[in-house]
Amino acid sequence: DIQMTQSPSSLSASVGDRVTITCRAGQDIDNYLAWYQQKPGRIPNLLIYASSTLQPGVPSRFSGRKSGTEFTLTISSLQPEDVATYYCQKYDSAPFTFGPGTKVDIK
């Protein structure tokens, strides 16, 4: 099975900071990579699919990029409502493995 790694596992940043989370796939998954935001007690909320396509309704401060098997989620200007855990997920084929998550909070 293809393993998904994420870094960092947690980060603390100030409001307005640029924040980047990295997800790496163990092998080529083309651009079949999604990013979710999850707040405590809530179901995951899809932010980005196809590595860089923003889900409608998601603020434009969120963006995604792909470089080989490395994917990044960037929040251009961190807002208090962005405090959450962020997960990547591969969806090229089963198993649709999630990354271990990155917890983001405000400094």
Partner 1 sequence: QVQLVQSGAEVRKPGASVTVSCKALGYRFIGYQIHWVRQAPGQGLEWMGWINPDGGGTSYAQRFQGRVTMTRDSSTSTVYMQLSRLTSDDTAVYFCARRREFQLLPGHWGQGALVIVSS
Cα separation, 107 vs 99, whole angstroms: 24
- Is there binding between residue 58 and partner 1 (CB under 8 A)? no
Q: Name residue, tokens 């271990």.
A: 100
Task: Specify the residue for token string 């940043």.
Answer: 13
66 touches partner 1 (CB under 8 A): no
14 binds partner 1 (CB under 8 A): no
With binding defined as CB under 8 A, does residue 81 bind partner 1?
no
Distance CA(63)–CA(96), nearest Å, equals 21
Residue ranges in contact with partner 1 by CB under 8 A:
1, 32, 34, 36, 38, 43-44, 46, 49, 85, 87, 89, 91-101
